[in-house]
Amino acid sequence: MHYQIVRYILGMVMKVEAVLLLLPFLAGLVYREPQAFSFLIMAIVSAVAAFAMTFKKPAKFVFYPREAIVSVSLSWILISIVGALPFVINGDIPSFTNALFETISGFTTTGASILEDVEALSHASLFWRSFTHWIGGMGVIVFMLAIVPMTGGYNAQLMRAESPGPTFGKLVPKVKESAKILYLIYFGMTLVQIVLLLIAKMPLFDALCMTFGSAGTGGFGVRNTSAADYTMLQQAILTIFMILFGVNFNAYYYLYLGKDKKQAFEMEEVRWYLIIIAISTMLIAVNVRSYFSSAFEAFHHAFFQVGSIITTTGYSTVDFDVWPTLSKGILVLLMFIGACAGSTGGGLKVSRVIILWKSVRQQVSQYLHPKSVSVIKVDSHTQEKSVVTGVLVYFALYAFLFVGSMFVLMLDGRQDLLTDFTAVTATFNNIGPGLAGVGPAKNFNALSVLSKYTLMFDMLAGRLELYPMLMLFVPSVWKKH
């Protein structure tokens, strides 16, 4: 482990965060809130710390996968701690554990909250809470790669550690350019959503925060009722954009900037993603028809909830905890599937589910024809054996961590099994609300401190695709070269 490199990269990330912390400060100034200054203080503190960390450049700028992976996971932990302190300083969330939970939930675009009363928060804090979604959605490191000049061939390893999906493909040869393109698309779509929400007469502050929440597929709202207070048109805009942000960004690249627009429609993952959304919406709409006055309304809310859950956003327009078991069951299944690889969403990712499904099919046919040879194809590309194995092992690890976390939560003895199960589901897949004790109308405050830290780990592990967080616990990683 080259500690110098790690220190330098962490410093760079801190610099970026120092600048970002100025935004909630400005938002607070507009509302003339004293809480705003806590963000200014932290901005200055982290700027000073960042300059101290990057003052001395590492002697050698070579790094290997382990440095990249550790830098990424430590960056996420660091920005979460720094991002949590303003809440503690300004008294909006006095407990550090709670503030950290809220911030990690923000950066990992989970949207699970410990707040009883969201509306009691200052505008500055609300803004920061939602803004962490936006940053975390595409990734801090990706952001850093796009703006900070870093040369050397190892940037790809940094970006890979932060990018969701079973395989990592660059859009263009250079990492910096790839990162820029991603943020360009991200920024453009965010802007369009804000404008549309404003046209639909949503107040500016709500429009900004709700857009950050849906762009990063996070789920922090600014009202106690999440998205229920908004008009049907506003909710419909949110639904559409949540689903759009859950699409693999490569599709947008092909569509807007690529030479061959057809490629965008030939992506198997996106196709399945839309098919799953359509089928789930239909099933739930029929199932919950009796809860609403009209079929259209049932469809509207089913569509919103499906879009919100599969993209792992976690906004809600109704308390789906009171829905029939079938509907709740579908929603929980969607939580596991998650959005597309290369999007801002979490979960297992549709592409992994496709590969898992095809592996199962392959195995079954292997039993029928023991000597048969077959390959797994996605997008008519043969998937390397290593990719398929990678997905299978990922799934196994995912299951282990899931069961382990659930076990820790059960130690509390305060919640029922469904609450434990969905609390882990909702945080591990970066969704937000679960069912029962952590349902859309409830929050995570009642859990014990141990459970909260477990869920924080789950959120980070889920966002960074398990391995980077796991690496921190491998002793040999920390050995000096």
Give contact residues for other proteins (rule: CB under 8 A).
65, 151-157, 170, 172-175, 177, 259-260, 384, 386
Q: Whose Cβ is closer to other proteins: residue 73's or residue 167's?
A: 167
Q: How far out from the chain centre does Cα 52 lie?
A: 30
Smallest gap from Cβ 464 to other proteins, in A, equals 19
Smallest gap from Cβ 65 to other proteins, in A, equals 7
Q: How far is 343 from 257, CA to CA, in rounded Å? A: 17
- Mention every residue, 6+ apart, whose C-beta is less than 8 A from residue 132: 83, 103, 106, 107, 218
Q: In this structure, which amino acid lies at residue 76?
A: W
Do the Cβ atoms of 133 and 219 come closer than 8 Å? Answer: yes
Smallest gap from Cβ 149 to other proteins, in A, equals 11
Smallest gap from Cβ 259 to other proteins, in A, equals 6
Q: How many CA atoms lie within 13 A of 198 on its CB side?
A: 10
Q: Whose Cβ is closer to other proteins: residue 117's or residue 260's?
A: 260
Q: Whose Cβ is closer to other proteins: residue 61's or residue 336's?
A: 61
Smallest gap from Cβ 373 to other proteins, in A, equals 18
Q: How far is 42 from 38, CA to CA, in rounded Å? A: 6
Smallest gap from Cβ 384 to other proteins, in A, equals 5
Q: How far is 335 from 346, CA to CA, in rounded Å? A: 9
Q: Whose Cβ is closer to other proteins: residue 176's or residue 414's?
A: 176
Smallest gap from Cβ 271 to other proteins, in A, equals 20
Do the Cβ atoms of 213 and 111 come closer than 8 Å? Answer: yes
Smallest gap from Cβ 58 to other proteins, in A, equals 18
- Mention every residue, 6+ apart, whose C-beta is less than 8 A from residue 370: none
Smallest gap from Cβ 201 to other proteins, in A, equals 44
Q: Whose Cβ is closer to other proteins: residue 63's or residue 323's?
A: 63
Do the Cβ atoms of 35 and 125 come closer than 8 Å? Answer: yes
Q: Could you tell me which residues are beta bridge partners of residue 378?
A: 381
Q: Whose Cβ is closer to other proteins: residue 361's or residue 385's?
A: 385
The pair of structure tokens assigned to 232 is 């049907």
Phi, psi of 326 (to 5 degrees): -55, -50
Smallest gap from Cβ 70 to other proteins, in A, equals 16
Phi, psi of 383 (to 5 degrees): -85, 130
Phi, psi of 377 (to 5 degrees): -115, 140
Smallest gap from Cβ 378 to other proteins, in A, equals 14
Smallest gap from Cβ 170 to other proteins, in A, equals 5
| The residue to which tokens 């932990």 are assigned | 77
Q: How far is 371 from 30, CA to CA, in rounded Å? A: 71
Q: How far is 285 from 302, CA to CA, in rounded Å? A: 5
Q: How far is 4 from 56, CA to CA, in rounded Å? A: 9
Q: Whose Cβ is closer to other proteins: residue 177's or residue 297's?
A: 177
* Residue 144: closest CA among 252, 247, 56, 20: 20
**DSSP 8-state code for residue 477:** G
Q: Whose Cβ is closer to other proteins: residue 225's or residue 263's?
A: 263
| The residue to which tokens 């969330």 are assigned | 93
Per-residue DSSP letters for 456-475?
Answer: HHHHHHHHTTSHHHHHTT-G
Per-residue DSSP letters for 59-89?
Answer: S-----HHHHHHHHHHHHHHHHHHHHHHHHH
Q: Whose Cβ is closer to other proteins: residue 73's or residue 178's?
A: 178
